[in-house]
């Protein structure tokens, strides 16, 4: 029996379906991220869990209790808003204390709980300040402390880090995860940033046009994206169009512009059009003349720990990532061989998407 | 991923040319018309009124050019004037309070409406401003007069004919009617600046709607209520048409007394002295109020 269950949750605005048939089970103590591009319905889903948006159909259950129609102020959930939504006229202490006051926690106990929560986010020295006197990162922490101090059954985070600069965002990611582990609160986070979702979630729910397309561990989503949309949205990927030219016992052969590639059969049939997806870091660069493909370096980008190469070959442009081993990199124009282990190839059925959207919201 | 393509640094711009004459005097030129208007139409008459209030006055000869403080002494010591000043500020304070009580919820409702209704009702709120105060005052006197609609209803329900006109209550009601937009608009403006998520946050922490309103929303729209109150109080305390037309001959307020002194008694210096005292008293009340409320707010919100 899971702790928080969404069953066929749907939200319609007139004829527009913002969220369709979302079914999701979250275990107690789990950290789940809703990941998707803007307008995919992830925030609406969170708002329905919070109670700010009415559910058109379906049910939401929390700890065995149906809360689908419960008012937001009797759900008792802790929410961290994208804008932080701190009470600007209250001190940090009063902001954090507000939820306890509403829960009628005796005044004598409140102070200790507030201080404990503020210590958890390293803001115990700023209790007397007003939100306007804090930096963005500090406000974010106040919002977090304010949400966890009431010991909510579920913590909802709406793009909690999107207003922070890149470096702070990375630091807060780990801190957020750390705090969540310490407190052990079941957490649902909405984000459009795949790195954020991957680094701190137990499971990631990928949403696309109001529907869930995959629920899996971050590693699984990256390595085994179930749709071609996910493989493009999550990280970078090389897509090679081909046709199934032979189906054998458990294995099949896909012809990539005449070049055979061995893939798992997995229900493929002869003549079917498929797309092979290979992540850039799975491609191995070999000396020219070796490997499966021959190509030429068109451009290179230095990423510090890695080199990103753009290659041109018989199958069109490819991206490959090579570890920066300290040796001189390949120069643009240099001929190069490309190889990959058969196991890293993912097969998606159907033709190549017309024009790959570059909007892979990173 | 072209983030590593090195940007060639933008060439450092030459030293900016020194601003031309027109640019240097632009602020002064732009402020000019307003300054001129203010000086000619506000400061000069005010100064003349101030000087006038020290002139001597004889019933037989009228205004003379001597210097006296007797008009101030008369106004400040005579119970008759004290009563009028107290009434004026009582009426203004009451009108302000009622405007706040009606205007703040009105602004809240307005801020929650969606277009097109929001635009429609905003126009309804502002509509009274489009009709002359005099016309509206006559409207009230027709409504509340001895044979007015209200009295007809009172008679019909058996309460009987009641004298409604020429009372303090009527003046307050009419002032509220006229001043309401001046309360609604600033409160509405400050509501526009609120982050809607703040209200959701309060609700999510278990606060009831009323607690959210009192503890979270109200403190944040305080500046709007403050400026609305100041406008309404200032305009009400110096209102002339409404008390003049609905207060009648007996229920005098400061502005109507000033009028009487100028045009009835022809004692201009005394009228001027009353006007100056009204201005000063109004300023003291408003500045004190502003100091108390704004200080309270500034301490928190900066």
Which tens digit of pLDDT belongs to each residue from B241-275?
A: 888 888 877 888 889 989 988 888 888 889 999 99
List C-alpha distances in Å: A25 to A2, A28, A74, B130: 6, 10, 21, 59
- Find chain A residues with C-beta within 8 A of B200's C-beta: 50, 52, 72, 79, 81, 85
- A35: which strand partners? A191, A206
pLDDT surpasses 80 at B276: yes
List C-alpha distances in Å: A343 to A217, A277, A319, B57: 19, 11, 18, 110
Domain ranges of chain B: 45-301
Q: Residue A353's pLDDT is what? A: 66
pLDDT surpasses 70 at B87: yes
- Find chain A residues with C-beta within 8 A of B1's C-beta: 236, 301, 303, 308
Mean of all residue pLDDT scores within chain B: 86
List C-alpha distances in Å: B152 to B135, B140, B171, B172, B177: 22, 14, 20, 22, 22
- The pair phi, psi for residue A336, each rounded to 5°, is -150, 150
- Which single residue is written with the structure tokens 């707010």? B297
Among A35-44, A56-65, B93-102, B244-253, the minimum mean pLDDT is found in B244-253
**Spatial CB neighbours of B145, under 8 Å, sequence gap ≥ 6:** B151, B164, B165
Cα(A203)–Cα(A110) distance, integer angstroms: 34
The minimum CA-CA distance between A131 and chain B, rounded to whole Å, is: 9
Q: Residue A116's pLDDT is what? A: 92
pLDDT band at B301 (very low <50, low <70, confident <90, very high): low
Mean of all residue pLDDT scores within chain A: 88
A301/B1 touch (CB, cutoff 8 Å), yes or no: yes
- A335: which strand partners? A296
Q: Residue A81's pLDDT is what? A: 93
| Per-residue tokens: A71 | 């008012």
pTM summary value: 0.78
Q: Residue A354's pLDDT is what? A: 56
- The pair phi, psi for residue B278, each rounded to 5°, is -60, -45
List C-alpha distances in Å: A226 to A101, A216, A277, A344: 46, 10, 11, 14
A88/B204 touch (CB, cutoff 8 Å), yes or no: no
- Find chain A residues with C-beta within 8 A of B216's C-beta: 87
Question: Given the DSSP bridges, would you call strands A31-35 and A186-191 parallel, antiparallel or unpaired?
Answer: parallel
- Find chain B residues with C-beta within 8 A of A236's C-beta: 1
pLDDT surpasses 70 at B57: yes
B198/A132 touch (CB, cutoff 8 Å), yes or no: no
Cα(B252)–Cα(B270) distance, integer angstroms: 16
pLDDT average, residue stretch B280-293:
88
Encode pLDDT of B164-218 as tens digits: 888 888 899 999 999 999 999 999 999 998 998 999 999 999 999 999 999 999 9
Cα(A249)–Cα(A265) distance, integer angstroms: 8
pLDDT average, residue stretch B31-56:
91
CA atoms within 13 A on the CB side of A42: 26
Q: Using an 8 Å Cβ cutoff, are A206 and A198 in contact?
A: no
pLDDT band at B99 (very low <50, low <70, confident <90, very high): very high
- Find chain B residues with C-beta within 8 A of A76's C-beta: 206
The minimum CA-CA distance between B106 and chain A, rounded to whole Å, is: 23
pLDDT band at A361 (very low <50, low <70, confident <90, very high): very low
Helix (H) or strand (E) holding B151: helix B149-157
| Per-residue tokens: B83 | 């009563």
Neighbours of B118 (CB within 10 A): 15
Q: Residue A238's pLDDT is what? A: 87
Tell me, yes or no, if B2 comes closer than 8 A to chain A by beta carbon.
Answer: yes
pLDDT average, residue stretch B144-152:
85
CA-based nearest residue in chain B for residue A151: B205
Q: Which of B5, B200, B205 sits opposite A52 (nearest CB)?
A: B200
Tell me, yes or no, if B105 comes closer than 8 A to chain A by beta carbon.
Answer: no
Q: Which of A51, A88, A301 sits opposite B301 (nearest CB)?
A: A88
Say whether A187 sits in a helix, a strand or coil. Answer: strand
Cα(A191)–Cα(A34) distance, integer angstroms: 6
CA-based nearest residue in chain B for residue A97: B205
Q: Residue A1's pLDDT is what? A: 62
| Per-residue tokens: A279 | 């992540």
Closest residue by Cα to residue A192 from A203, A205, A174, A178: A205
Ranges of H-type helices in chain B: 21-38, 44-52, 70-77, 79-112, 117-126, 133-144, 149-157, 168-192, 196-204, 209-211, 218-237, 241-246, 254-259, 268-301
- Which single residue is written with the structure tokens 């409160």? B187
Say whether B260 sits in a helix, a strand or coil. Answer: helix
Tell me, yes or no, if B175 comes closer than 8 A to chain A by beta carbon.
Answer: no
Q: Which of A85, A103, A302 sits opposite B195 (nearest CB)?
A: A85
Q: Using an 8 Å Cβ cutoff, are A98 and A120 in contact?
A: no
Chosen from B193, B195, B201 to mutate, greatest number of chain A CBs within 10 A: B201
Q: Which of A71, A73, A83 sits opposite B197 (nearest CB)?
A: A83
Query: Got the DSSP string for B3-59?
Result: TTSPPPPPPPPPPPPPPPHHHHHHHHHHHHHHHHHHIIIIIHHHHHHHHHTTEEEET
- Find chain B residues with C-beta within 8 A of A86's C-beta: 198, 201
Cα(B298)–Cα(B81) distance, integer angstroms: 37
CA-based nearest residue in chain B for residue A147: B205
Q: Which CATH number is B45-301 given? A: 1.10.3720.10
Encode pLDDT of A284-323 as tens digits: 888 888 888 888 999 999 988 889 999 998 888 889 998 8
More confident of the two residues A262 and A40? A40
B205/A146 touch (CB, cutoff 8 Å), yes or no: yes
pLDDT surpasses 90 at A7: yes
Cα(A129)–Cα(A123) distance, integer angstroms: 10
Q: Residue B9's pLDDT is what? A: 43
Q: What percent of chain B has pLDDT over 90?
A: 38
Question: Given the DSSP bridges, would you call strands B62-67 and A306-313 parallel, antiparallel or unpaired?
Answer: unpaired
Encode pLDDT of A137-164 as tens digits: 899 999 999 999 999 999 999 998 888 8
pLDDT band at B155 (very low <50, low <70, confident <90, very high): confident
* Buried-exposed string B235-258: b where 16+ CB fall within 10 A, e elsewhere: bbbbbebbbbbbbbeebbbbbbbb
pLDDT average, residue stretch B217-224:
90
Q: Residue B2's pLDDT is what? A: 41
pLDDT average, residue stretch A335-354:
82
The minimum CA-CA distance between A35 and chain B, rounded to whole Å, is: 21
């Amino acid at each position: 029996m899971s702790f928080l269950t969404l069953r066929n949750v749907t939200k319609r605005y007139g004829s527009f379906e913002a969220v369709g048939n979302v079914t999701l089970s979250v275990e107690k103590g789990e950290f789940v991220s809703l990941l998707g591009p803007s307008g995919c319905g992830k925030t609406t889903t969170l708002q329905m869990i919070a109670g700010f948006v009415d559910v058109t159909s379906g049910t939401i259950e929390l700890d065995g209790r149906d809360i689908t129609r419960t008012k937001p102020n009797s759900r008792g959930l802790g929410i961290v808003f994208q804008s932080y939504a701190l009470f600007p006229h209250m001190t940090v202490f009063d902001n954090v204390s507000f939820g306890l006051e509403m829960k009628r926690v005796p005044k004598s106990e409140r102070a200790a709980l507030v201080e404990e929560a503020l210590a958890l986010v390293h803001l115990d020295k700023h209790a007397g300040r007003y939100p306007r006197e804090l930096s963005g990162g500090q406000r974010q922490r106040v919002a977090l402390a304010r949400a966890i101090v009431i010991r909510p059954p579920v913590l909802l985070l709406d793009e909690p880090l999107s207003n922070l600069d890149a470096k702070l965002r990375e630091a807060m990611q780990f801190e957020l995860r750390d705090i969540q582990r310490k407190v052990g609160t079941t957490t649902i986070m909405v984000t459009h940033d795949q790195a954020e979702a991957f680094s701190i979630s137990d499971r990631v729910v990928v949403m696309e046009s109001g529907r869930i397309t995959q629920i899996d561990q971050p590693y699984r989503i990256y390595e085994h994206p179930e749709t071609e949309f996910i493989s493009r949205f999550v990280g970078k990927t090389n897509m090679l169009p081909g046709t199934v030219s032979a189906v054998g016992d458990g294995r099949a052969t896909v012809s990539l512009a005449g070049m055979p590639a061995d893939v798992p059969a997995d229900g493929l049939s002869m003549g079917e059009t498929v797309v092979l997806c290979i992540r850039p870091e799975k491609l191995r660069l070999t000396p020219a003349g070796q490997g499966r493909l021959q190509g030429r370096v068109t451009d290179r980008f230095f990423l510090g720990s890695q080199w990103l190469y753009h290659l041109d070959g018989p199958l069109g442009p490819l991206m490959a990532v090579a570890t920066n081993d300290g040796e001189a990199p390949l120069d643009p124009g240099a001929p190069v061989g490309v190889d990959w282990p058969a196991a890293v190839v993912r097969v998606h059925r159907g033709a190549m998407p017309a024009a790959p959207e570059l909007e892979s919201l990173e | 991923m072209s983030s590593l393509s090195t940007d060639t640094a933008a060439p450092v711009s030459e030293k900016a040319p020194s601003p031309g004459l027109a640019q240097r005097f632009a602020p002064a030129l732009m402020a000019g018309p307003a300054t001129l208007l203010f000086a000619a139409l506000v400061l000069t008459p005010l100064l003349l009124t101030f000087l006038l209030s020290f002139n001597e006055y004889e019933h037989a000869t009228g205004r003379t050019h001597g210097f006296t403080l007797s008009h101030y002494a008369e106004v400040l010591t005579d119970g008759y004037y004290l009563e009028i000043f107290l009434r004026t500020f009582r009426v203004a304070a009451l009108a302000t309070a009622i405007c706040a009580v009606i205007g703040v919820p009105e602004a809240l409702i307005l801020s929650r409406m969606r277009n097109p209704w929001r635009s429609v009702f905003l126009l309804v709120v502002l509509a009274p401003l489009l009709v002359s105060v005099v016309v509206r005052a006559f409207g009230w006197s027709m409504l509340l007069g001895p044979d007015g609609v209200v009295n007809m209803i009172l008679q019909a329900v058996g309460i009987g004919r009641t004298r409604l006109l020429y009372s303090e209550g009527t003046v307050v009601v009419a002032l509220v009617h006229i001043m309401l937009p001046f309360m609604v608009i600033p409160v509405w403006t400050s509501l526009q600046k609120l982050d809607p998520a703040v209200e959701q946050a309060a609700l999510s922490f278990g606060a009831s709607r009323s607690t959210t309103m009192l503890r979270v929303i109200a403190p944040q729209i305080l500046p709007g209520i403050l400026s609305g109150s100041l406008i309404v109080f200032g305009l009400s305390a110096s209102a002339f048409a409404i008390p003049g037309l609905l207060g009648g001959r007996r229920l005098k307020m400061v502005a109507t007394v000033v009028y009487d002194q100028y045009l009835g008694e022809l004692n201009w210096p005394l009228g001027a002295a009353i006007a100056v005292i009204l201005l000063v008293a109004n300023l003291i009340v408003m500045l004190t109020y502003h100091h108390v409320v704004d200080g309270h707010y500034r301490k928190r919100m900066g």
